[in-house]
Amino acid sequence: MKHSPIQTQAYQTLKPKSSHRTLDKFTVRISGRLNLRVYSDDRPNNLEIAELQKGLIFEYYGVERLGEGTGFGFPVVMTSNETYFSGTAQLQTFKNEDTVIIRKVFIMDRVARNKLRNARLENPRMRTLIDALSNAYQKYRRLRSPILTLKKIPLRIGIQTAFVNATPIGKVTLTYRIRKEYIKVKSDFTLPQEGIRSLFMLNEQGSEFFNTYEDSNGTRLFGDQIGAWDRVNADWARISNATNGIGFQVKNEPQSVLRRGRETQQNTLDWIGLDYEVERGRKSFEYEIKITGV
C-alpha cells in the first residue's frame, strides 16, 4: 500500500514551524460534510460510557455520529485483576504545514463496577455471572441471541455499569496526525513492566449511522451480521454507511489482532468498530485510518 505523506512527517519539525495550544475541544475539517472532533473531557456523555474519555469523533453535517463508541484511538489496559479505562486527559494541538497533529494523554484511572440505581454492587457472584455472559457472547456466535436476552436482565432490574475512580495504573499518549483523509495514529504506553495482560486500541463510532462491513477477502456484512467481536483475517477492513459510502478503513497490523464488532440495543448499546488487541510488552503501536467516501 502506498504510504501517504502523513506517514513521513517527522515530529521534530514541529518545533521551528508550528504553533500549539492547549484547549478543551478541537475540530478538524476533512471535507465540506465531514469533520473530526476531539475533547479534553468526557463529552459527548452518551449511554454507559458517558464518564469515559473519547478518541476522535466522526461528525457528519454538524452531527456527531459517535453513539456509544469510544472514538478513533481509545486505549484500554487489562491486568490480571482489573480493566483500566481513562476518565482524565490532557489535549494539545499542533499545525505543521498541511498536517494537523493532535496529542491526547489518557490517564488510565477508571475501572468498571456494577451498580443498582445509586448503590455499587460488589457481589462477586453477580460480577462473575455478568462477566461470564459477556465472554460467552463474544466467543459463541450461535448463543448470541439468548445471551443478549440474558444480558438485558440486569438492566431490567436497574443494574448498570459505572466507571469509578481508581489509582492510575499509568498513561497512554495518543498522537493523531491528520492530513486530508488519512489519520496516522501512534500510541505510546507508559505502564508498569509487570502485570499487564492485554492492551487494546479501540476505533469505534455509532452503529446507527455506520452499518456495513467489508474487507479485502470479499466479505460484506450488514447490520447484525457483523457480530459482536469477531477476528478479521483480511489484509484490510472497512466500516461504512450503506447509503452514502462514508466510512473508515484500517489494515491488519503485525503483532496485533484486529477484530470487528457491532452492537445495538436501545438506550444501552450503540457502537461499531475495528479494534486492535496489541501484543503485550509493546511500548508503542502505530496504525493508519483512512476516511472513505469523502
Kindly give the pairing relationship between strand 99-116 and strand 159-165.
Answer: antiparallel
199, 188 contact by CB (below 8 A): no
107-137 per-position pLDDT tens digit: 999 987 755 444 444 445 445 555 555 565 5
Lowest mean pLDDT among 2-16, 38-52, 137-151: 2-16
202, 185 contact by CB (below 8 A): no
Which candidate, 263, 67, 83, places its Cα nearest to that of 161? 83
Q: Which CATH architecture has domain 17-292?
A: Distorted Sandwich (2.70)
CA angle 75, 78, 84 (to 5 degrees): 60
- Please tell me the distance from the alpha carbon of residue 178 to that of residue 153, in angstroms, as a whole number: 42
Average pLDDT (163-175) is 93
- Please tell me the distance from the alpha carbon of residue 116 to that of residue 114, in angstroms, as a whole number: 7
- The residue whose grid cell reads 498541511 is 98
Rounded to two decimals, what is the model's pTM?
0.80
68, 62 contact by CB (below 8 A): no
Percent of the chain predicted with pLDDT > 90: 54
Q: List the beta bridge partners of residue 256.
A: 278
Which candidate, 229, 232, 201, places its Cα nearest to that of 217? 232
Domain map (residue ranges) of the chain: 17-292
Residue 49 confidence (pLDDT) = 80
Residue 126 confidence (pLDDT) = 45
85-95 per-position pLDDT tens digit: 999 999 999 98
Average pLDDT (154-173) is 75
Residue 294 confidence (pLDDT) = 86
Q: Which residues of 2-14 are buried (b: 16+ CB within 10 A; e: fewer)?
A: eebebeebeeeeb
- Please tell me the distance from the alpha carbon of residue 187 to that of residue 285, in angstroms, as a whole number: 5
197-246 per-position pLDDT tens digit: 889 999 999 999 999 999 999 999 998 899 877 899 999 999 999 999 99
